[in-house]
Amino acid sequence: MAGGALLQVKDLRKYYRVTTGLMRRLSGEIRAVDGVSLSINSGEVLGLVGESGCGKSTLGKTILRLEEPTSGQINFNGIDVVSLHRRDLRELRGKMQIVFQDPDSSLDPRMTVGGSIEEALVVHGISDPAELEERVARLMQKVGLEAGFGERYPHEFSGGQKQRIGIARALAMDPQLVIADEPVSALDVSVQAQILNLMMDIRDRDGLAYLFVSHDLSVVKYLSDRVAVMYLGKIVELADKEEFFRNPLHPYTEALLSAIATLRPGGSNRILLTGDVPSPLNPPAGCSFHTRCHRVMPVCPQMAPELTQTAPGHYVSCHLYA
C-alpha cells in the first residue's frame, strides 16, 4: 500500500561532456537525463520504461548519486541528496539501494555469497560476529535461499539464484527504496516470474518502494502502481497503471503498447517504430520523437512540447494534447 512521498526528483539533468583532440576541447554534451521530474511514494512501485539508450538506467544511478547530477533536485525522505557530502552518502545508500541487471556485477567471484552479503552489512558499520551471522542467515531466508548456501561461491549458482543474492545484498540495511535496473532481463523466462514474485512479496511484507526500470511493458504492467515512459532523457508520459494501459496518449507509448498487444490473439495492428533512438548527443529539434512519430505534425520539429496534465495524475508531453 503506497504512503506519502518518499522520493521527489525535480528537473534532474545528467549531461556528459564530449571532448576531442589532445587538448580535450569540448565538442558537445550527451543529454542522458534531460530535465526529469517524478516522485515515488512509500511502498509504491513506479515502472520506468523505454528502449535501451533512452536514459532510464542513468536516471536510476543519478538518483543514487552513483552518477553525479549536472543539475536538479533529489529529495529522499526529507534529505537533500544532491548537496549531501560524499561521506554521508554511505548511510543514505543503506536506505536507497540498487539491484543491477547482471547479478555478477555485485558479486565478487572469490568471495562466498555469505561473505558478500556480510560485506554489505560491514560497510554499514555492523561488526558483531553473532549479529552478522544471524542477519546473513535471515537475509538468505528472505530471498528463498538456504542458509547453508552461504559457504558457496557465485559460480555454483544459477542466474536466478545469483539475482536472489543480489537482492539480499540490497536488502541488507532495510532500505525504503530499491532502484531495480532491469533485474530480470538477463534471466531465463522461466525464472523471471519467480524473481518478480519475490520482489513483490518483499514489497508487500516490508512496505518497500521500487523504481522498476525495464524495457518490457509486460513486466511493468505486472508489478507497477504507476508507469512513466522515457524517451531521449525525458519523461514523455506518466500515469496510474490502469489509466496508462486503458488510455495511452503519447504516440511513443501507443507504439510500445501495440508491440505487446500484437502478441495476443486478436491483438490490434502494430505501430512500427522505425529506426533507432536518435543520439542524445544530437537530439532532433522540437519534439525529439518527431523523427519516428506516426502522428507527426508541422509544429513538431519546430517546438518542444511541455509535460502537461490531461487528467488527474496523467501527464503527457505531446502537441496533440497541448
The site for ligand SF4 (CB under 6 A) is made up of 250-251, 287, 289-290, 293, 295-297, 300, 305, 318-320
**Residue appearing with cell numbers 539508450:** 53
- In the bound state with ligand SF4, the residue whose beta carbon lies nearer, of 98 and 318, is 318
- In the bound state with ligand SF4, the residue whose beta carbon lies nearer, of 138 and 294, is 294
- In the bound state with ligand SF4, the residue whose beta carbon lies nearer, of 171 and 273, is 273
CA angle at 292 for the pair 11 and 47, rounded to the nearest 5°: 45
Neighbours of 56 (CB within 10 A): 27
219 phi/psi in degrees, rounded to 5 = -65, -45
CB of 288 to ligand SF4, least distance (A): 8
CB of 57 to ligand SF4, least distance (A): 23
Q: Are strands 96-99 and 177-181 parallel, antiparallel or unpaired?
A: parallel
CB of 226 to ligand SF4, least distance (A): 20
Distances (CA, A) of 176 to 93, 104, 182, 198: 10, 24, 19, 16
The residue type of 72 is: G
CB of 169 to ligand SF4, least distance (A): 40
**Residue appearing with cell numbers 536510476:** 60
CB of 291 to ligand SF4, least distance (A): 8
d(CA 226, CA 305): 22
- In the bound state with ligand SF4, the residue whose beta carbon lies nearer, of 38 and 236, is 236
- In the bound state with ligand SF4, the residue whose beta carbon lies nearer, of 93 and 290, is 290
- In the bound state with ligand SF4, the residue whose beta carbon lies nearer, of 82 and 320, is 320
- In the bound state with ligand SF4, the residue whose beta carbon lies nearer, of 55 and 175, is 55
CB of 292 to ligand SF4, least distance (A): 8
Q: For 222-254, b where at least 16 C-beta lie within 10 A, e where not — what string?
A: bbbbbbbbbbbbbbbbbbbbebbbeebbbbbbb
Q: Which residues contact 288 (CB under 8 A, 6 or more apart)?
A: 231, 232, 234, 278, 304
CB of 286 to ligand SF4, least distance (A): 8
For residue 298, count CB atoms less than 10 angstroms from its CB and return exposed for 0-12, middle for 13-18, buried for 19 or more: exposed
